[in-house]
Amino acid sequence: MKSSRLFIILALVATLVASCKIGKKYVRPDMELPSQLDSTVVADTMSIGDLPWNKIYVDTLLQELISKTLEKNKDMLIAAAQVKELAAMKRINVANLFPDVALRMYGERERENYDGKIDNDDQYVISARVTWELDLWGKLRWAKDRSLAEFMASVENRRALQMSLVASVAEAYFELVALDNELKIVSQTVEARREGLELARIRYEGGLTSEMTYRQAQVELASAEALIPDLEQQVTLKENEIAFLAGEYPTKVERVALPEDVMLPVSLPVGLPSSLLERRPDVRQAEQELIAANASVGVAYASMFPQISLTSDFGTESDLLCEILKSPHYLISGTLLQPVIGLVKNKARHKAAQAAYEQAVYSYEKVVLNAFMDAYNAIVRFNKTQEIYESQYVLERSSRSTLDLAQLQYMNGVIGYLDLLDAQRVYLNAQINLSNAVRDKQLAVVNLYKALGGGWKNE
């Protein structure tokens, strides 16, 4: 009974002493953030980065692709498994704060013969051992904080991966739709030039034009037809890319017919600069890694101080199995371990941990700077792609009118065939450039949404 009281008293004293936790508490580095993200608008607390991805990408076919990717993508599955691994490691470090209890059952049956005299030396033991390392200086608590930060970093890594995957699928989808549209434009151009070639043949055979005009029409048709195989190849490769992201073998990808069929938000508030640090998972991951590095410094510092462990054994021991419960025994011991020769090593480990923390600080600051560069660049692209689209739209309309007029003048003999070909080339390029401008507008939305930290929230 006295031994139990002694152990309880020692445990209470240890708990009181363990309230001491040496080391520097983590403080987020001051980055002196800019006052606003977009100088063209008034700062707003709202941001599209706060919206779940299914509120940004409302195309149902695209939503299905994103959902499938988040469920089956191999990198996502790897990240999820890593989260489980670090969650288990976190529980181990939390358990180290509490006593370790082990049950021991031992039996031995021995016969010895000394000059014909049989001697029995049997032994039976049942005991429980309790071992507790007292966390006097906070080493175990720093280790717990480190494992928690590493676990949270893995969670943020998974979120960052999801953010990137959502953006990658959306980009590939919009590019695929744009390639379909470009292929459609070129195919229509090929049909128009086949009709033009037939007309040129009739006029040539009728003596109205020279052979040069007819041959030139053949060249223009061939050059347009040569574009189709390359576009078909790009379409197939883009479909394969989307299938790979979704964790599938190459397959047909369902999508809308025209780029204009994809609906996207018109108003895109960017939010405040400070909220970018809380919203972007890559920044949050870098901060958790910084917290873990700070905790490692605490572990290394606390390791230079004495380590005290309490050990107690409670059980029974007897030479006869039937009387084992009649022979109780107990043992209580304490161990003080103070490194002497290893003190130099521990000091070196502490300095190494401090240097690693300094690297983590710079890494965090670099991630923050990169996040703001991404956000600023995405805002610029979003604003400028709208202007480019409007210019390309005007150019496409003008070139279409010019082509209509050129065809009429050519039929009436006012202009030559080369002038008509120039108008056709300009209109083809204008159509393709307008299609690409629509695609670039869509990609600008994707990049802005990703840069603002959007895409990792499901609901």
**What does the pLDDT look like over 380-411, one tens digit per residue?**
999 999 999 999 999 999 999 999 999 899 88
**What does the pLDDT look like over 275-298, one tens digit per residue?**
888 899 999 999 999 999 999 999
Of 15-24, 188-197, 245-254, 347-356, the poorest mean pLDDT is in 15-24
Could you give phi then psi for residue 452, rounded to 5 degrees? -85, 5
Which pLDDT score, from 0 to 100, does residue 140 have? 86
Which pLDDT score, from 0 to 100, does residue 40 have? 63
Which pLDDT score, from 0 to 100, does residue 27 have? 92
Q: What is the average pLDDT across 3-30?
A: 65
Amino acid found at 96:
N
Which pLDDT score, from 0 to 100, does residue 1 have? 47
Q: Which residues of 94-124 are buried (b: 16+ CB within 10 A; e: fewer)?
A: eebeeeeeeeeeeeeeeeeeeeeeeeeeeeb
The whole-angstrom separation of Cα 151 and Cα 291 is: 11
Rg (CA), the chain: 37
Q: What is the average pLDDT across 309-322?
A: 62
Question: CB of 374 within 8 A of CB of 448?
Answer: no
What Å distances lie between residue 211 and 190, 197, 206, 347, 409, CA to CA? 21, 12, 11, 91, 20
Neighbours of 39 (CB within 10 A): 10
Q: Which of 364, 366, 382 is CA-nearest to residue 447?
A: 382
At a CB cut-off of 8 Å and minimum separation 6, what does 204 contact?
210, 211, 213, 214
**What does the pLDDT look like over 167-196, one tens digit per residue?**
999 999 999 999 999 999 999 999 999 998
**What does the pLDDT look like over 411-425, one tens digit per residue?**
888 888 888 889 999
Quick check: 325 pLDDT over 70? no
At a CB cut-off of 8 Å and minimum separation 6, what does 349 contact?
300, 303
Quick check: 37 pLDDT over 60? yes
Which pLDDT score, from 0 to 100, does residue 314 have? 66
Which pLDDT score, from 0 to 100, does residue 431 have? 96
The whole-angstrom separation of Cα 23 and Cα 413 is: 91
* Mean of the per-residue pLDDT values of the chain: 85
Distance of CA 186 to the CA centre of its chain: 38
What Å distances lie between residue 63 and 114, 253, 332, CA to CA? 86, 13, 64
Q: Which of 92, 90, 91 is CA-nearest to residue 292?
A: 90
Pairing between strand 328-337 and 123-134? Answer: unpaired
The whole-angstrom separation of Cα 21 and Cα 25 is: 10
pLDDT band for position 317 (50/70/90)?
Answer: low
pLDDT band for position 135 (50/70/90)?
Answer: confident
Quick check: 16 pLDDT over 90? no
Give the best-scoring range by mean pLDDT among 71-80, 91-100, 109-118.
71-80
- When comparing pLDDT for 229 and 267, which is higher? 229
Q: What is the average pLDDT across 324-344?
A: 62
Which pLDDT score, from 0 to 100, does residue 100 have? 77
pLDDT band for position 147 (50/70/90)?
Answer: very high
**Domain 31-97+139-304+345-451 homologous superfamily, CATH:** Outer membrane efflux proteins (OEP) (1.20.1600.10)
The whole-angstrom separation of Cα 29 and Cα 291 is: 11
Quick check: 118 pLDDT over 60? yes
Domain 1-21+99-134+305-338 of CATH type 1.10.1240.10: no
pTM of the model: 0.84
Q: Which helix (H) or strand (E) holds 228?
A: helix 211-245
Which pLDDT score, from 0 to 100, does residue 341 have? 57
3-state secondary structure of 146: helix
Domain boundaries defined on the chain: 1-21+99-134+305-338, 31-97+139-304+345-451
- When comparing pLDDT for 266 and 260, which is higher? 260
